[in-house]
Amino acid sequence: MNRTQPKKNETLEQTAYREIKNEIFTLEFAPGSMLTEKQLSEKLEISRTPIRAALTRLLYEKIVSEDATGHIYVAKTTVKEVQDITAVRLALEPLALDGPGLTDDIIKSISSIYKAQKEVDLDAPEGLITFSKLDCDFHCVLAEISDNEVLKTDIKSLNSAMVRCNVLSGTLQFNVPEAIKEHHEILSYLKAGRRDFAKLALTDHINYVNRRMFKDE
């Protein structure tokens, strides 16, 4: 029986992409492990052509990497990459909290995301992906407080990159309680109208994420 269940109106390439990405993000394919078209074709019961196209897309997204001989590996998150992202996040994200858009609707959106994060089943097949995407959403909605479109776009791009880094680091599942606690602190200060404290809490949170990801290195 075919283990791969295509979604409605999904091409084989899209199915292969989704399935391979899910296997990587659930750590079924560990960072650094080699992926071959033959292996993936047999596992997913999908022909090699859509597998090849899916791998090309994953290469573009830096979820997999290719060596000089053309072999494909699950990408590893490096300390340098995360530190670079962290440095820019520290410079940009607190600025967004000075914007004019701290409305009741924004607070409700942030609260809804925070609640959803607390309810994620991390043992579910896509639990880590779901949590990491919600984490990205939390920071992207914070960015909406700003009226600077360039700032918002950059913050969203940085946090999208962090989804990949968080999952591929293999540490996310151990750091969820701390992340939820830090999000609650940021949200509480915003509800209280203490943007100054919220900015400090956000800065601490971004630094803590960086440290936790590589605390054993």
- Note the pLDDT tens digit of each residue in 1-60: 345 566 667 899 999 999 998 888 888 898 899 999 999 999 999 999 999 999 999 999
% residues pLDDT > 90 (the chain): 74
Q: For residue 57, is it within any domain?
A: yes
Residue 2 lies in a domain: no
Q: What integer pLDDT is reported at residue 2 of this predicted model?
A: 45
Asked whether residue 102 falls in the same domain as residue 126, the answer is: yes
Residue 94 sits in the same domain as residue 47: no
Q: Clarify whether residues 200 and 102 are in a common domain.
A: yes
Strands of the sheet with 64-66, listed across from one edge:
34-35, 72-74, 64-66
Q: Which two tokens stand for residue 42?
A: 């047999």
Q: What is the pLDDT of residue 192?
A: 98
CATH code where residue 108 lies:
1.20.120.530
Residue 206 near residue 93, CB atoms below 8 Å: yes
Q: What are phi and psi of 72, to 5 degrees?
A: -105, 135
- pLDDT tens for 166-191 read 888 878 888 999 999 999 999 999 99
Task: Name 74's bridge partners.
Answer: 64
> How far, in Å, CA of 124 to CA of 95, rounded?
36
- Supply the mean pLDDT for the chain: 92
Integer Cα distance of 180 and 182 in angstroms: 5
Alpha-carbon distance of 39 to 73, in angstroms, equals: 12
More confident residue, 197 or 7: 197
**Secondary structure (3-state) at 217:** coil
Q: Between 173 and 121, name the one with better pLDDT.
A: 121
Decide: 129 and 164 in contact? Cβ < 8 Å.
Answer: no
Indicate whether 84 and 65 sit together in one domain. no
The domain in which residue 180 lies consists of 79-213
pLDDT of residue 105: 98
Picking from 140, 160, 163, the residue whose alpha carbon sits closest to that of residue 151 is: 140
Beta-strand (E) ranges in 72-144?
A: 72-74
Number of domains composing the chain: 2
Supply the pLDDT for residue 217.
Answer: 58
